[in-house]
């Protein structure tokens, strides 16, 4: 049996009614705050995400669904033959080529200058899995050819791998060779969007949306991250998000925008009846604050990083701020003692943050300051926030967001300060008290055709009622009356309308209220009114 892929799921009725209820409420709120919908593609160029979310983030390093699009096949063979040509004189005549049957299969095993080399040819580095494969090869090789000793492992790339892959290769004793291939054109690397801010900012630049002044945009749609699935965490999940972005002259930088977004979120959660949420608020400062902060973190990490997990050891070198994303319990006491970003904010950032807080207080939105909240994406500057909810368990962040004042520039656009958020819709639905049953619209009436030829009459009646926005479900003339009644109550219909030969002749139909048991005969022309008045 073919099943839905791990981390993805089908949303079925009646649950979908709950999703629609949420989305309708959200659209209503967005409307009164004058937000308008944007729909960006579900896949984008990979570099959009690596440049905005950040090369060293968990999302980009480990979680993206990325593939080389188009004519990639046959390229590894071209790389292989180019490599063989390049090393022509050095490859021993006794060289052997082998494959690891039915196990991990590198592209080549060859004796080069007296050393055994296991080489894998990669068109482009995709992620850490590439290097992890080598570990498997090493094990499989030792098992398959115990007499050969420890060969040299080599990864051959057509493009410079990311700094992280080089770092990891080195740590695993794997050599990396970047090979020039005549006529090489990089294939298009595409990625299923892991989040939507990057796509919105790309669209802002592409369509010169600054001409419109301040853009207040919202989106609802699926996002994709290869995370370990658990309650509230999926590989295909849904976000409801919004972005306020525009040229500085449109007021996009103002703390008033931040406060408006946060107040909107409080209103939205309240409107949905979600209680006991907590707004955690921080400022992550501007790039110059962060440079000083990163330096301080590096220094503070130096003497202790040896005791931390391998991810943190890498982060300490490449992007110390990301150490705060660590979930390893043993590392937490160390992280707890690291310097706080709040000590590094410059005067304008401090003032901006204070103004946000003042407005929030004046509109009565409660918040908690948390200067360890740095968010798992690199593009943030100044205000960063999360709303958490106790009932969600481990995955308690119902939404997150913040300011990203330099993001447009880093994607080649003009200065366009912005702030936004994304709600995890899956988690929002989990936190709802409302039940799917309560929000689903049940049939107003079940139309029960009774006897041969009555399907026709029932269809005519259904068409008439539905035109008047009456939810009507149609039975079948082959059903006995008992079965029609059973089906109607199973569906939760309020009324049942009997359409038999006698009724059609008389032009008046038996209408029974399934709750009260009351039955009346209603002339055709009065049906709509009667069914409505009975609601």
Residues that bind ligand HAM in the complex, under the rule CB under 6 A: 195-197, 225, 227, 232-234, 237, 239, 241, 243, 376, 397-402, 404, 420-422, 424, 426-427
Nearer to ligand HAM, 264 or 454 (CB): 264
Alpha helices (runs of H) in 87-196, residue ranges in sequence order: 129-144, 163-171
**Distance between CA atoms of 132 and 42, rounded to whole angstroms?**
28
| Residue 195 C-beta: closest distance to ligand HAM, Å | 3
Nearer to ligand HAM, 397 or 510 (CB): 397
Give the tokens for residue 60.
Answer: 């980009």
Longest dimension (CA), the chain: 102
| Residue 463 C-beta: closest distance to ligand HAM, Å | 42
Give the tokens for residue 35.
Answer: 């937000």
Alpha helices (runs of H) in 241-398, residue ranges in sequence order: 255-271, 287-301, 310-318, 332-336, 347-363
Cβ-based burial of 190 (10 A; exposed 0-12, middle 13-18, buried ≥19): middle
| Residue 193 C-beta: closest distance to ligand HAM, Å | 10
Nearer to ligand HAM, 195 or 289 (CB): 195
Nearer to ligand HAM, 274 or 462 (CB): 274
| Residue 225 C-beta: closest distance to ligand HAM, Å | 5
CA angle 497/500/504 to nearest 5° reads 95
| Residue 242 C-beta: closest distance to ligand HAM, Å | 7
Nearer to ligand HAM, 280 or 289 (CB): 280
Nearer to ligand HAM, 164 or 219 (CB): 219
| Residue 457 C-beta: closest distance to ligand HAM, Å | 49
Give the tokens for residue 498.
Answer: 């009997």
Cβ-based burial of 349 (10 A; exposed 0-12, middle 13-18, buried ≥19): buried
| Residue 221 C-beta: closest distance to ligand HAM, Å | 12
Nearer to ligand HAM, 16 or 230 (CB): 230
End-to-end CA distance of the chain: 44
- Laid out side by side, the sheet with 36-37 consists of 36-37, 215-224, 236-245, 418-424, 397-403, 381-389, 277-283, 368-369
Nearer to ligand HAM, 60 or 465 (CB): 60
Alpha carbon separation from 53 to 46, 221, 396, 463 (Å, rounded): 11, 18, 22, 52
Give the tokens for residue 223.
Answer: 């996002």
Q: CB nearest ligand HAM: which residue?
A: 424
| Residue 396 C-beta: closest distance to ligand HAM, Å | 9
């Amino acid at each position: 049996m073919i099943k839905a892929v791990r981390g993805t799921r089908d949303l079925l009725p009646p649950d979908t009614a709950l999703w629609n209820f949420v989305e309708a409420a959200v659209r209503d709120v967005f409307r009164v705050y004058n937000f308008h919908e944007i729909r960006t593609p579900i896949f984008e160029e990979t570099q959009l995400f690596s440049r905005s979310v950040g090369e060293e983030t968990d999302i980009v390093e480990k979680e993206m669904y990325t593939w080389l699009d188009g004519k990639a096949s046959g390229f590894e063979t071209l790389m292989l033959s180019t490599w063989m040509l390049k090393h022509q004189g050095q490859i021993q005549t006794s060289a052997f080529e082998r494959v690891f049957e039915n196990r991990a299969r590198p592209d080549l095993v060859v004796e080069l200058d007296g050393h055994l080399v296991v080489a894998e040819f990669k068109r482009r580095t995709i992620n850490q899995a590439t290097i992890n494969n080598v570990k498997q090869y090493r094990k499989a090789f030792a098992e398959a050819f115990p007499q050969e000793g420890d060969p040299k492992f080599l990864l051959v790339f057509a493009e410079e791998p990311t700094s992280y892959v080089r770092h990891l290769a080195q740590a695993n004793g794997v050599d990396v060779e970047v090979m020039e291939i005549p006529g090489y054109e990089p294939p298009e690397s595409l990625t299923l969007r892991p989040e939507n801010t990057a796509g919105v900012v790309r669209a802002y630049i592409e369509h010169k949306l600054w001409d419109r002044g301040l853009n207040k945009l919202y989106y609802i749609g699926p996002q994709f991250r290869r995370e370990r699935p658990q309650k509230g965490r999926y590989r295909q999940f849904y976000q409801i998000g919004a972005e306020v972005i525009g040229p500085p002259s449109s007021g996009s930088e103002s703390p008033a925008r931040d406060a408006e977004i946060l107040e909107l979120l409080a209103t939205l959660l309240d409107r949905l009846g979600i209680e006991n949420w907590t707004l955690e608020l921080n400022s992550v400062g501007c790039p110059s604050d962060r440079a000083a902060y990163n330096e301080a973190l590096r220094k503070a990490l130096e003497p202790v990083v040896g005791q931390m997990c391998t991810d943190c050891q890498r982060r300490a070198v490449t992007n110390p701020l990301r150490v705060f994303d660590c979930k390893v319990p043993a590392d937490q006491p160390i992280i707890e003692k690291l310097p706080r970003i709040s000590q590094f904010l410059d005067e304008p950032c401090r003032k901006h943050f204070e103004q946000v807080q003042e407005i929030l207080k004046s509109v009565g939105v409660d918040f908690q300051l948390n200067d360890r909240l740095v968010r798992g994406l690199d593009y943030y500057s100044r205000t960063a926030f999360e709303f958490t909810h106790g009932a969600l368990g481990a995955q308690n962040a119902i939404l997150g967001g913040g300011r990203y004042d330099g993001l447009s520039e880093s994607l080649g656009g003009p200065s366009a300060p912005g702030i936004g958020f994304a709600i995890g819709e899956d988690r929002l639905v989990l936190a709802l008290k409302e039940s799917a049953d309560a929000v689903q619209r049940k049939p107003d009436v079940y139309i029960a055709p009774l006897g041969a030829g009555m399907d026709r009459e029932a269809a005519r009646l259904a068409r008439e009622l539905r035109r008047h926005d009456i939810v009507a479900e149609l039975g079948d003339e082959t059903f006995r009356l008992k079965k029609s009644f059973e089906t109607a109550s199973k569906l939760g219909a309020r009324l049942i309308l009997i359409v038999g030969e006698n009724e059609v002749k008389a032009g008046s139909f038996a209408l029974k209220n399934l709750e009260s048991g009351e039955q009346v005969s209603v002339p055709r022309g009065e049906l709509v009114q009667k069914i409505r008045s009975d609601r």
